Structure 1
């Protein structure tokens, strides 16, 4: 099954790329010509579908309810099983398209969907002038055209920690480097605490451990070098990061059920104090918000960015941060999809951020009451963060699947690097890079 998933993802990219050569619609995107409907215009009888991942399928609940009441449209959320990105690419390659989908708004992942052919351009979207200028063009663009709508603060890889566990063991200052964090973990293990919790069963978060170790290298141009072939995933700096992750697991610094633990298990363990730390992204905190109120989260959960040289975050806009609108060939539904985005990020935006208790991207819309401090700290780390593989590489291979295989003992660190590089080269070639 693992090999089928990887092959399907690669095949999807190739098929989507071939479509760009043959689809005449690529020359004249209907979204650009049709303009933007009024956000509250009536849509009686119109049915829209949104594809979402398991960790984003509740994000639009408030928006959908309000939109349906205002317009008369019907909006259905369909959850695509993990691994989400591969599932979406495979479906789209066979012609199965939703009206909208949650999607990583990076150039490489927009390329993976062949945005020019399959997605509506969001050029001149009415909400864009309202977005914080520092965030307006940080992501969502491919070759100068906007294809993704950023709805929440882009994710930052970093460390979520249990404040009560830290306090109970006399930890009064946060680690200021990766090695300091590991040293702290060793001290906690000696005291009978599980230092780190990893969700090896669900696999997709395993890559964060490697990427935060590569933050300094990314700042120094690692991904540019991998893109142009002067470095590879088998280069010493990448293999060293994979090896360190492997060795820390072998040292017993993670949960004993690392091979089978899930995303939900990870949230429950950190919130319940069964583990001290987890390296994760913003969607993890969304899961915590579903489990506890703001007061509880503020008292129990903190966040700090981490890198080898200091408290530097790794910027990785993920699929829960943004939406894309598909070109389905149905002009009425395409216009309705644009209208939903205009409603979401226009007259409904204040209600959306209040419902999600999340940081506002629009200066005219203040942060709502109840935004947890950890989430504000994540957002504050964004300006000094460096790009992740997803943000800066021309293709995104299945590093996380290979790392999960390593956790399960079927790959060595060197084999992880070799397999990842091989797929990276294939995907980059298929995408014309």
Structure 2
């Protein structure tokens, strides 16, 4: 899939001069000169595909109203698009040159693929990319592809250690574990002293990455075009994970709906610790174990034997469709929506994590969960920025489950995963 552009992709690029959903009364000049020099003169309509959930819609509508008040000649149509359908829907619309939005909220794992197909407008030097020094380095890196910035970070996230303070206190534990070895010892102490199970793993490949990073490993060496998911470091990482599914430590991980099972056990007080992200906090508060919100503890991800700790960066970017007929308006919209003021509002109203340092205001960090995850972001790591990175996790999930069930050894399971990636998705990469 990275051996050059397909016929369909080439056709999509040729179609980029076609009319997008936005207004047709302006040119498709990509420089952003008009928006930079005379923003109040910019007029027309743009469409934004919002891939968040509808519960967040009212906050974004509030921001759009504020944008349109500042730029009365620009009309914004927010179209809610289901997240699980948006990636393919955008590809289809962009390839056909008809029906694509001017601006799309992209998952960080989509940006490289869209850019590789020629569907995203590079934003370097445009008004959309404002004050880049203020962005957290990790989220900004996810918006780049082959030296060009093809998105503006909207929200970010990472994984952290969530724990039940009351159970910790009953077990006589005064601080969260800083390493996976301490995590194992803590889980066993909790089980022995309280009868509560220490943890429950989510058996998805994405949730195995902190183990991998903690051993100094990674999924891929992109620059060297090597698959490294079966390296000695990765094998040690899987051996660590296996220790955390033993009966004296954990609830046996579910092989289906593993995320839901682990989250439910945690919020019901049946396990003392899980690994999860900031998106799970509101749901945790709805559980009986955290009716008192102060009972929820959040810490940075534990470290591995390599002496490092890291968790993957997730989140979303604002991207501009290369075929937009109203790029000036699109640039102004992205600049406004990714501003400090806008990010502060979404952080307070819908519990998102800002991508700008300046948006972590006192009002935002007054929430202990956001403050804790801000700290967790300090050890966050960018996943490989390649087209189709999300596709790698389909096979990763399957092989990780087999390893956790004991169906295969860590080495055999990871060797099989590396071979599958090499055969089906990464044919131009070497293994090892």
Q: Give 1:253's match in structure 2, choosing from 224, 249, 253.
A: 249
Residue 139 (structure 1) shift? 3.6
Q: In the aligned structure 1, how far is the partner of 2:294 from the partner of 2:43?
A: 41
Superposition deviation, residue 411 in structure 1: 5.8
1:234–1:216: structure 2 CA closer, same or farther, 3 Å change rule? same
> Structure 1 residues 95 and 250, CA, compared in 2 at 3 Å: closer, same or farther?
farther
- Contact 1:16/1:112 (CA < 8 Å) preserved in 2? no
Partner of 2:348: 354
Mean Cα deviation higher: 109-118 or 143-152: 109-118
Q: Secondary structure at the match of 2:160?
A: strand
Q: Which has the larger radius of gyration?
A: 2
* Alignment-derived partner of residue 368 in structure 1: 363
- 1:194 equivalenced with 2:191 (yes/no): no
CA distance in 1, matches of 2:206, 2:14: 38
Deviation at 1:172, TM superposition (A): 0.7
**Could you say if the C-alpha distance between residues 93 and 351 of structure 1 is closer, same or farther in structure 2, counting changes exceeding 3 Å?**
closer
Deviations 1:47-79 (A, max 9, x none): 432234xxx664554123330465353312222
Per the alignment, residue 340 of structure 1 pairs with 333
Give distance in 2, aligned partners of 1:36 and 1:167.
60
**Aligned partner (choices 227, 230, 233) of residue 234 of structure 1:** 230
Q: Distance in 1 between matches of 2:317 and 2:191?
A: 38
Task: Report the Cα distance in structure 1 between the residues aligned to 2:107 and 2:384, rounded to whole angstroms.
Answer: 8
2:60 maps to 63
Question: Does the C-alpha gap of structure 1 residues 420 and 296 become closer, same or farther in structure 2, counting only changes over 3 Å?
Answer: same
In structure 2, list runs of 5 or more residues that go unmatched: 18-26, 69-74, 95-99
Name the CA shift for 1:330/1:387 in 2 (closer, same or farther; >3 Å).
closer
Shift of 1:369: 4.6
Residues 262 and 98 (structure 1), Cα distance of their counterparts in 2 relative to 1, 3 Å cut: farther
Within 2, Cα distance between the matches of 1:412 and 1:35? Answer: 58
Name the counterpart of 1:48. Answer: 48
Q: Is the Cα–Cα contact under 8 Å of residues 176 and 311 in structure 1 kept in the other structure? A: no
Match of residue 325 from structure 1: 320
Shifted more, 356-365 versus 275-284: the winner is 356-365
With over 3 angstroms needed to count, the CA separation of the structure-2 counterparts of 1:58 and 1:113, relative to structure 1, is farther
Q: Does 1:80 align with 2:75?
A: no
Q: Deviations over 1:122-145 (max 9, x none)?
A: 223356217526538444212221
CA distance in 2, matches of 1:241, 1:185: 18
CA distance in 2, matches of 1:258, 1:302: 23
Compute the TM-score of the two structures, normalised by the length of structure 1. 0.73
Shift of 1:277: 1.1
Whichever structure has more strand as a proportion of its residues is: 2
Q: CA RMSD in A?
A: 4.3
Q: Deviations over 1:239-273 (max 9, x none)?
A: 23224424532546333562234545544443342
Task: State the shift of 1:231 in Å.
Answer: 6.5
Check conservation: 1:344, 1:352, Cα contact below 8 A: no
Secondary structure of 1:301's aligned partner = strand
1:31 touches 1:121 (CA, 8 Å); kept in 2? no
Question: Alignment partner for residue 212 of structure 1, among 210, 213, 216?
Answer: 210
1:142 alignment counterpart: 145
Offset at 1:40?
8.6
Shift in Å at residue 302 of structure 1? 2.0
Whole-angstrom distance in 2 between the partners of 1:290 and 1:99: 37
1:98 offset after TM fit, Å?
4.9
The CA distance in 2 between the partners of 1:344 and 1:176, in whole Å, is: 36
With normalisation by structure 2, the TM-score equals 0.73
Q: Distance in 1 between matches of 2:257 and 2:232?
A: 30
Is the contact between residue 130 and residue 364 of structure 1 (CA under 8 Å) also seen in structure 2? no
Tell me: CA distance 1:194–1:394, structure 2 relative to 1, closer, same or farther (3 Å). Answer: same
Write out the 4+ residue segments of structure 1 that deviate beyond 6 Å after TM superposition.
Answer: 13-16, 38-45, 289-292
